[in-house]
A and B are shown apart, each in its own frame.
With several copies, the nearest count.
Chain A
Amino acid sequence: MTTTTTAEPRTGPLRLNLQPGVGLLVIAAAGLVSLWAARADSQFAVFWLMGMAFGFVLQRSRFCFTSAFRDLFLLRDGRVMKGVIAGMAVATVGFTLIMSDRLPNSRLEVVAPEAHVSPLALALIVGGLAFGLGMVLAGGCISGSMYRMAEGYLGSWVAFAGIMTGLLVAAHTWNWWWRLDIGRAPRLWLPNIAGYGGGVAITLLALAGAYVLILWWESRAGLVIPLTLMTHDPAVTFGDELRRTYRAIFVRGWPAISGGLALGTLNVFLFAYEHPWRITGEISAWASALAGKLNLGLAPPPLLGVETLAGCTLSGAEGVFLNHMTLSNLGLFAGALVAALLAQEFKLRVPRKPIRYAQSLGGGILMGYGAGLAVGCTVGAFFSAVPSLAANGWLFAAALTGGAFLGTKALRWLP
């Protein structure tokens, strides 16, 4: 017999809270947006709803790629990273089946359509280091900053402005990097050399190895962090049970492992429909389009070679503002807002120390620039790239780890 306890908070006397009601209004509004989007383009509605699902899961499981990397060093806590690994393992199986359906022969010198395979360039390492450092300083990566914006974190809004700035700067320097480095670098898609069977076996073994490594790393701090799963008292009445089910889904935070598995599954669903989950390409299009509108000569030039890349490529001035990925990103905000309101976790949070604003802005710029060079953030260039059986996902992960390590060192100097 084993027992465990959960951290469900005792609830003190609370005033009447309007948040769940506002949440229902946001759900109704989101429904209207779906209907509008379905009229405009059926893809728009699907990406809007999938974006909402991603945002909902991110908020409910407090899923933060930054903490996955940072807490390995800061707290020797691999709880979130285990969730990331579990999600990528699920996605690896699903992605492989989808890719082998779309490109049955993997031994040709081509890559399955929409797989996130990108060059193993120096820029990927530089981008990963910058991204890893930036996300630790800003307290959230790009997806993390987005769902925290919806929760009311002012610092995350500042970080997002930094991210857009960094992506714009990256677009301006892209052609230099392309000529010198990215355009010449090799790409390595595992099925080209090992077949789908070999590619999936290597990836799953590597993920299992990473999982075991994290268990070992945690154990060195003297106490292994249990994989928290939900537990509860036996309910007696129907009302109790309904209330408990509602609270488990909409109020209490989900364990990181559930969040990771849900995000990995959603990622497979999105790929089955069209392509894997990606975020930054669209934010770059927003930044470039905005820069073009300002007429200050800030619009980036046409970008070399981006048409040869899949995934989250930067946009030059020619970027389209409204496409299916716009809906996916906006849906992420809406889904996270709904989740935060239903859980009564929405609040305008204003950092009191001025340096936090500088951290958010600087971290955001580093992340934006890094994501530009790496052709994606923790989502597109990592969480969708590893299951694409692409070597660049692993190289980016290594660079992110290094960047996050530098970030934890930097944090200790700051007040």
Chain B
Amino acid sequence: MELDVRGEICPYPMMKAVEAMRALPEGEYLEVYTDHSPCLDTIPTQAARLGFETSIEKIGSPEWRITLRRKP
């Protein structure tokens, strides 16, 4: 699943990401696209609490793809 929150400011990127993780069907993973750098600190923390693993890739200046997968 993809979630594009580019252009959005705090707290929307993390709020939407948390909502999407909660609603994510089994077996799927979530890709969050953002240009808001504070997410790089907040999303991994919330992901850990929800049992997700985070990996972050820089895809632009400044844009990031945050991939969230359920921990096995």
Contact = CB atoms under 8 A, between A and B. Distances in A.
A403 interface: no
B40 A11 contact: no
Interface in B31-47: 35-38, 40-42, 44-46
Contacts, number: 104
A211 interface: no
Contacts of B59: 12
Contacts of A256: 41
Nearest to A14: B61
Contacts of B62: 343-347
A1 B11 CA distance: 25
21 contacts: A7-B40, A7-B54, A9-B57, A9-B58, A9-B64, A10-B56, A11-B57, A11-B58, A12-B57, A64-B38, A67-B10, A74-B14, A77-B46, A139-B9, A221-B49, A223-B48, A344-B61, A347-B35, A347-B61, A356-B8, A411-B15
Interface of B: 6-12, 14-15, 18, 35-38, 40-42, 44-46, 48-49, 54-64
Interface string A63-75: 0101100110011
Given A77-B46, A349-B9, 17 more contacts: A1-B55, A8-B56, A9-B58, A70-B11, A75-B14, A75-B18, A75-B46, A79-B41, A79-B45, A139-B12, A140-B10, A156-B9, A223-B49, A344-B62, A351-B7, A351-B9, A356-B9
Interface of A, helix, strand, loop or mixed by DSSP: loop
Given A10-B55, A62-B37, A253-B40, A77 B61 contact: no
A345 B58 contact: no
A349 B35 contact: yes
A222 interface: yes
A153 B9 contact: yes
B42 to A, nearest CB: 7
Nearest to A76: B49
B57 A64 contact: no
B15 to A, nearest CB: 7
Contacts of A64: 10, 38
A225 B46 CA distance: 9
Instruction: Please classify how large the interface on chain A is, using the bins under 10, 10 to 19, 20 to 34, 35 or more.
Output: 35 or more
A139 B11 contact: yes
A344 B45 CA distance: 24
> Counting chain A CB atoms within 10 Å of each CB, which of B6, B11, B14, B58 scores highest?
B11
Nearest to A414: B12
A66 B6 CA distance: 20
Nearest to A255: B41
B7 A350 contact: yes
Nearest to A17: B61
Contacts of B15: 74, 411
A102 interface: no
Interface of A: 1, 7-12, 14, 17, 19, 62, 64, 66-67, 70-71, 74-75, 77, 79, 136, 139-140, 148, 153, 155-156, 221-223, 225, 228, 234, 253, 256, 343-347, 349-352, 356, 411
Interface of B, helix, strand, loop or mixed by DSSP: mixed
Nearest to A350: B7
Contacts of B35: 347, 349
A234 B56 contact: no
A74 B18 CA distance: 11
Given A139-B9, A351-B7, A67 B38 contact: yes
B60 A14 contact: yes
Per CB-CB distance, the 3 closest pairs between chain A and chain B, nearest first, are A139-B9, A344-B61, A9-B56
Contacts of B58: 9-12, 14
Contacts of A221: 49
B37 A77 contact: no
Given A7-B40, A225-B45, A67 B57 contact: no
Contacts of A79: 41-42, 45
B38 A234 contact: no
A349 B6 contact: yes
A11 B64 CA distance: 9
A284 to B, nearest CB: 24
B70 to A, nearest CB: 16
B54 A352 contact: no
Contact of A62 (B9, B12, B41): B41
